[in-house]
A and B are shown apart, each in its own frame.
Chain A
Amino acid sequence: MVLRYWYLLRGSPPRLVELVYWPTVQMVIWGFMTLYLHPEGDVMALGFGALLSGVMLWDVCFRGQISLCGAFLEEMYARNLGHLMASPLRPVEFAAALLVTSLLRTLIGLLPTSLLALWFFGFSIYSLGMALIGFFFLLIVMGWAVGLVISGLIMRVGLGAESFAWAAIFAVAPLSGVYYPIATLPEWLRPVALMLPSAHVFEGMRAILTEHRLDLTSMALATGLDLVFLGLGFAAFLAFHASAKARGRLMQMGE
């Protein structure tokens, strides 16, 4: 299945360009915004690097989800799901292939963007050090969990639910503390935010950038929550698949 998505990318330059285009546009806008807010210094100073780091790390979560849903939607658009589900491919293997494809697509999109940020603004996301690898996986796993739920929903109800693929993850962005600490949120909302792995990741990111310390508690909480989220994502995908089979949706793809 991963080969199938590789063939698709290889044969479609617009798809490849799109993977790099949006993260780059985001990075450029926020890079200039950071310069505007702090015109005298470099973007790494006084924690302003947290803005750009936040933008790029949030893109990991967003790209992880959108790439997974995008790969799934390719099967819906191509009316290929029936062929796949009648083959020896198991639904859990299909979901795993979507995860691997999402990882590859996210890396293809974000690696060039991170290098451009270095070139344009002298900003290096790699200044986060080894923690960056942890943040990357913690955020992409959360994106996968959301992506699995939405892909399953689309399989169950059809392309009428497609808009969720493009919009759902933004619902958790305000609670994730991408650009501001969780302490900024109203007190009653903080417990909700702290149920999200992403909230702990961005708290951990700020701890490194502003206090130069690795917050292992945040990392551990994010890891635990991620495991729960991913488990729920797989369970939802499989449940939606079973429901789609019961309702004959796998043979009637469309709205």
Chain B
Amino acid sequence: MLAPAEMPALRVDGLGKRYGAVCAVDDLSFALPQGVTMGLLGGNGAGKTTTIGMILGLVTPDCGRIEVLGHDLGRAGRRIRPLINFSSPYADLPHRLTVRENLTVFARLYGLRRPAARIARLARDLDLEGFLDRPSGRLSAGQKTRLALAKALINEPRLLLLDEPTASLDPDTADWVRGLLESYRRRTGATLLLASHNMAEVERLCGEVLVMRQGRIADRGPPQMLISRYGRQTLEEVFLDIARGPAGHGGAS
């Protein structure tokens, strides 16, 4: 499905979600242009995971609208889902199935016509060729992360949502993963939304960041602009300023 280049890959408008008395996401609005990587920052409970869940269609919003490449998620979810994929520490892949079996299942779920060729390509790109027939449960943490990324890239998504993609990885593997994501974005023109607590990672990958606090956008902008606006040296210091600033409104999930 082709979308005009000026059309946002993702548009979120007035999104809200409450869990009982707790306000997880409150009147969230932003647009994400095609072909960029945007960082989604915020402390634990700021509403990042709930936001990602709503964009993925895993959580029903109480109010607001989500558009992916011009299509309303509420009405055209069936058309949108083949264009999206994600990786998250909240979801795992069956440990009993081998790497190849797991990828084959998802290749078929996403309707790929030539699963074997796609899996071979991903295995090469993600250095998984030696483990294709190994059960996923017997992979190391780094190998599991690469498998999770392979699953997230199986359908060559136009919008890729990543929740802590390098958590629990050693610095070398984490750096390799960042390089891979950057190269994927450049090669395909895909759009990435990256939720991370690793500020160095966000500074390297993201052209713009959106900082959430208590379910709302606390600030946004390119990393360097935020750093200079807050008079700080690093994005981490900016994050701490926002996270420790005076409480805004409502609660958070």
Task: Write the residues of chain A forming the contact surface with B, with a CB cutoff of 8 angstroms.
Answer: 1, 3-4, 7-8, 11-12, 74-75, 78-90, 242, 245-248, 250-253
Query: Are B59 and A83 within 8 A (Cβ)?
Result: no
B151 at the A interface (CB under 8 A) = yes
- Pull 7 A–B residue pairs with CB atoms less than 8 Å apart, ordered by A: A3-B105, A7-B98, A82-B56, A83-B106, A88-B110, A250-B58, A251-B50
Nearest B residue to A8 via CB reads B96
Which residues of chain A have C-beta atoms less than 8 A from B57's C-beta? 85-86, 245
B86, B90, B111: most-surrounded residue (chain A CB, <10 A): B90
Which residues of chain B have C-beta atoms less than 8 A from A245's C-beta? 57-60
Query: Are A252 and B90 within 8 A (Cβ)?
Result: yes
Nearest B residue to A94 via CB reads B109
- The segment from B63-71, B77-85, B173-181, B222-230 found at the interface with A is B77-85
Which residues of chain B have C-beta atoms less than 8 A from A88's C-beta? 78, 81-82, 109-111
Bound form: Cα–Cα A80–B94 in Å: 7
Task: Write the residues of chain B forming the contact surface with A, with a CB cutoff of 8 angstroms.
Answer: 17, 19, 24, 49-50, 53, 56-60, 78, 81-82, 84-86, 88, 90-98, 101, 104-106, 108-111, 135, 151, 253
Q: What is the total of A-B residue contacts with beta carbons within 8 Å?
A: 99
Interchain nearest-CB distance for A92 vs B (Å): 12
Interchain nearest-CB distance for B65 vs A (Å): 16
Bound form: Cα–Cα A86–B78 in Å: 10
The verdict on A8 contacting B97 (CB below 8 Å), with A85-B57, A251-B58 known, is yes
Query: Are B19 and A87 within 8 A (Cβ)?
Result: no
The verdict on A242 contacting B60 (CB below 8 Å), with A83-B151, A251-B53 known, is yes
Which residues of chain A have C-beta atoms less than 8 A from B53's C-beta? 248, 250-251
Query: Are B90 and A82 within 8 A (Cβ)?
Result: yes
Which residues of chain B have C-beta atoms less than 8 A from A246's C-beta? 59-60
The verdict on A86 contacting B58 (CB below 8 Å), with A7-B105, A11-B135, A248-B53 known, is yes
Query: Are A11 and B60 within 8 A (Cβ)?
Result: no
**Contact for A82 among B84, B91, B95, B135, CB less than 8 A:** B91
7 new A-B contacts, CB < 8 A, other than A78-B96, A248-B58, are A1-B105, A7-B98, A8-B96, A11-B101, A87-B110, A248-B50, A250-B59
**Contact for A86 among B86, B93, B98, CB less than 8 A:** B86
Query: Are A86 and B96 within 8 A (Cβ)?
Result: no
**Contact for A12 among B19, B84, B96, B105, CB less than 8 A:** B96
Query: Are A82 and B19 within 8 A (Cβ)?
Result: no
Nearest B residue to A243 via CB reads B60
